[in-house]
């Protein structure tokens, strides 16, 4: 069975500092990998995803993530935090294969706080 | 519409009451998902539709939960005899076809008192 672990339920950074949100997955076959952001009382918005090809994936709002198969990780980074980045971030996986529905398995989430 | 629309946005139900939550997916989207997000948790998969066919309902927590999408567009998630543990945000997502991005609605926050 697939699972996702997000290390750190709460991360606090200063404005302009590096953002690093950690995600590790467990799967017998490398899955599709996603990062979503959720603002208060809003739905989920896709930041980026990895399906195949280049392991460094660039997303919206200056975020990027690197798929490391040997570490079963997909950590999210942003070089310089902005106040508007404060939100809840979810890492998710989806199984590969034509028989799979595309349902997402989510981590517990990490709350990012950005201090002025 | 421009996005996935869910209604109502907020619902307060007395324990034992039946509720119905509606999802209007993006027009033309074939796939539709329902997720349950408890407070402080990540969303958990409930069920999946491809057009009107419910292909996966493995995440429905009990037989009190029922979902339908009779014409392959609007979907309704029904919860019978609600209990306090059903309190959560219920998210709907739709996507055009496989391997395309799924778009999420804003969710319905259900509070059972």
Report how far residue B94's alpha carbon sits from residue B4's, in angstroms, rounded to the nearest whole number: 7
CB-nearest partner of A102 from B31, B35, B59: B31
A 10 A CB-CB count for B74 gives 14
In the prediction, which pLDDT does A98 show? 63
Contacts of residue A56, Cβ cutoff 8 Å, sequence gap at least 6? A64, A65, A66, A67
In chain B, residues with a C-beta closer than 8 Å to the C-beta of A36 are 104
pLDDT in tens, A17-66: 999 999 999 988 888 999 999 998 888 999 999 988 889 999 999 999 99
Task: With cut-offs at 50, 70 and 90, classify the pLDDT of residue B98.
Answer: confident
Is the pLDDT at B1 greater than 60? The verdict is: no
Chain-centre distance for alpha carbon B84 = 18
| A6, A34, A48, A85: CA torsion to nearest 10 | -30
Report how far residue A7's alpha carbon sits from residue B84's, in angstroms, rounded to the nearest whole number: 29
Residues of B at the A interface (Cβ-Cβ below 8 Å)?
4, 31, 33, 35, 40-45, 48, 50, 55-56, 59, 91, 93, 95, 98-99, 101-102, 104-107
User: Is the peptide bond prior to B25 cis by the omega test (within 30 degrees of 0)?
Assistant: no
Nearest Cα of chain A lies from the Cα of B112 at a distance, in angstroms, of 18
Nearest Cα of chain A lies from the Cα of B106 at a distance, in angstroms, of 4
Is the separation of the CB atoms in A15 and A83 below 8 Å? yes
Q: What is the mean pLDDT of chain B?
A: 95
pLDDT in tens, A69-110: 999 999 999 999 999 999 999 999 998 876 678 899 999 999
In the prediction, which pLDDT does A40 show? 86
A 10 A CB-CB count for B72 gives 15
């Amino acid at each position: 069975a697939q699972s996702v672990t997000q290390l750190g339920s709460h991360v606090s950074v200063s404005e302009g500092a590096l953002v690093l949100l950690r995600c590790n997955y467990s799967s017998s076959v490398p899955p599709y990998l996603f990062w979503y952001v959720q603002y208060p009382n809003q739905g989920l918005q896709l930041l980026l995803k990895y399906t195949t090809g280049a392991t460094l994936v660039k997303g919206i709002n200056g975020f990027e993530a690197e798929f490391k198969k040997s570490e079963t990780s997909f950590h999210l980074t942003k070089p310089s935090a902005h106040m508007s980045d404060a939100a809840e971030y979810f890492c998710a996986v989806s199984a590969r294969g034509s028989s799979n529905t595309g349902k997402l398995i989510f981590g517990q989430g990490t709350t990012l706080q950005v201090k002025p | 519409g421009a996005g996935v629309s869910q209604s109502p946005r907020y619902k307060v139900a007395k324990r034992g009451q039946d509720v119905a939550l509606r999802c209007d997916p993006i027009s033309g989207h074939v796939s539709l998902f329902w997720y349950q997000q408890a407070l402080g948790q990540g969303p958990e998969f409930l069920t999946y539709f491809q057009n009107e066919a419910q292909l996966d309902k493995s995440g429905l927590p009990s037989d009190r939960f029922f979902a339908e999408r009779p014409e392959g567009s609007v979907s309704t998630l029904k919860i019978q005899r609600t209990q306090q543990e059903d309190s959560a945000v219920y998210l709907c997502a739709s996507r055009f076809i496989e391997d395309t991005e799924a778009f999420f609605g804003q969710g319905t926050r259900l509070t059972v008192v």
